[in-house]
Chain A
Amino acid sequence: NAGVTQTPKFQVLKTGQSMTLQCAQDMNHNSMYWYRQDPGMGLRLIYYSASEGTTDKGEVPNGYNVSRLNKREFSLRLESAAPSQTSVYFCASSVRQGGWGYTFGSGTRLTVV
């Protein structure tokens, strides 16, 4: 099925470890986003990529880096994980910058101990 695929679905890290969350979409969307979801706080934007070759910081970028590898793929890297990064991470894509809502992946549940 067409959509946004995130891997892994679950991950447990020790403080200080690094990891990369993968996201790929097959809808030929231009824009891609990374959000984190925490109880009572809704979704907060970490980074986004309005088009292939560009990335920009969102609301909560500290402790994260991203790579827009190509039009399909947008990865999120935690260089040195901290317990405050325990969260559910969602990748999303949209047809174009500024428009038409998002298609979301199913999320990655990350626990940092």
Chain B
Amino acid sequence: GEDVEQSLFLSVREGDSSVINCTYTDSSSTYLYWYKQEPGAGLQLLTYIFSNMDMKQDQRLTVLLNKKDKHLSLRIADTQTGDSAIYFCAEPSSGNTGKLIFGQGTTLQVKP
């Protein structure tokens, strides 16, 4: 079945790079997404990558896609305390239903 897997926790020091990893199952996914959830808030779309791309860079964020291994990663350069949040990887469900399948979320803790 469809499944998106993430590690649950990552702790880094302020100024370091953070790398959050995700594996997914549906190789036909057109877009893959990263969402950010700050404490007490809903999820916000952080970035996305189209399936025909290997990499996408957006300021401090770099998304890498390895389609062969069905592996997606989010790198945050120069991590700041304001980056502390839960990060969710998501892929569309098969069958064009509009549903997104979310991973369990990775809690990023940034220590000063």
Contact = CB atoms under 8 A, between A and B. Distances in A.
Interface of A: 4, 31, 33, 35, 40-43, 45, 48, 50, 56, 58, 90, 92, 94, 96-107
Contacts of A43: 43, 88, 102
Interface stretch (B62-70, B75-83, B92-100): B92-100
A77 to B, nearest CB: 20
B45 interface: yes
Contacts of B10: none
21 contacts: A4-B42, A42-B88, A42-B102, A42-B104, A42-B105, A43-B43, A43-B102, A45-B99, A48-B97, A58-B99, A90-B42, A96-B98, A98-B92, A98-B97, A98-B98, A99-B31, A100-B31, A101-B45, A101-B100, A102-B100, A104-B43
Nearest to B105: A42
Contacts of B35: 104
Given A50-B98, A90-B43, 20 more contacts: A31-B98, A42-B88, A42-B103, A42-B104, A43-B88, A43-B102, A45-B99, A48-B97, A48-B98, A50-B97, A58-B99, A90-B42, A92-B43, A94-B98, A98-B96, A102-B45, A103-B45, A104-B42, A104-B43, A104-B44
